[in-house]
């Protein structure tokens, strides 16, 4: 009887772990992201963007790509060289859209990267790439903002309630 309970508990625990870890991204996306960060780690920023933007409409928007590269160079200059990365979140919208959020690690501060992919047929296409340093937004920081009972009220245009 004890063995059955232990086996059941292990089965439930293993099921919980399996549900907690999202499946890896499709292989072609995983390969592109891994190569992108490996090249950034090797200080090959232009090559990294050539890889991640291959076969995308983004590549044709030269000013946008220049801005993205400049933003990345500035971030690396401020926070230090890229030392590695990890995928921290995957979101899907239906079967044809996916967003992968990564953190790249630097000596001084991490960066958040969002890669948005679209699959109109049988091949995933990168349609948006976004990088910023707002990693605090990764945590649920929604707190209720409570005004003191004797403080100004928004309903009274900042004047204390009578």
User: Half-sphere exposure of 61 toward its Cβ, with a 13 Å CA cutoff?
Assistant: 12
Would you place residue 136 in the very low, low, confident or very high pLDDT band (cuts 50, 70, 90)? confident
pLDDT of residue 7: 45
pLDDT of residue 60: 84
The dihedral built from the CA positions of residue 28, 29, 30 and 33, taken in this order, carries a sign that is positive
On whether the 25-138 domain is CATH 3.40.50.620, my answer is no
Please give the share of the chain, as a percent, with pLDDT higher than 70. 72
CA distance 33 to 89: 13
pTM above 0.85, yes or no: no
Tell me the helix, strand and coil percentages in the chain, rounded to 5: 45, 25, 30
- The DSSP element (H or E) to which 112 belongs, if any, is strand 111-118
CA distance 41 to 112: 15
Task: Show Cβ contacts of residue 131 under 8 Å, excluding neighbours closer than 6 positions.
Answer: 68, 71, 72, 75, 111, 112, 113, 114
SS3 state at 121: coil
22: left (phi over 0), alpha (psi -120 to 50) or beta: beta
CA distance 115 to 28: 13
CA-nearest of 65, 85, 61 to 73 is 65
Q: Tell me: pLDDT of 137 over 70.
A: yes
pLDDT of residue 157: 47
């Amino acid at each position: 009887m004890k063995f059955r309970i232990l086996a059941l508990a292990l089965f439930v625990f293993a099921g919980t772990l399996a549900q907690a870890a999202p499946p890896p991204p499709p292989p072609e996306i995983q390969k592109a992201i891994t190569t992108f960060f490996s090249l950034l780690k090797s200080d090959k920023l232009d090559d990294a963007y050539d890889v991640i933007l291959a076969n995308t409409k983004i590549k044709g928007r030269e000013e946008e790509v220049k801005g993205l590269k400049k933003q990345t160079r500035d971030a690396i200059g401020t926070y230090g060289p890229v030392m590695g990365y990890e995928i921290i979140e995957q979101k899907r919208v239906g079967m044809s859209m996916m967003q992968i959020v990564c953190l790249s690690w630097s000596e001084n501060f991490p960066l958040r990267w969002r890669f948005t992919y679209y699959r109109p047929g049988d091949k995933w296409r990168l349609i948006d790439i976004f990088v910023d340093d707002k990693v605090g937004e990764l945590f649920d920081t929604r707190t209720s903002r409570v005004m003191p009972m004797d403080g100004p009220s928004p309903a009274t245009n900042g004047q204390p309630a009578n």
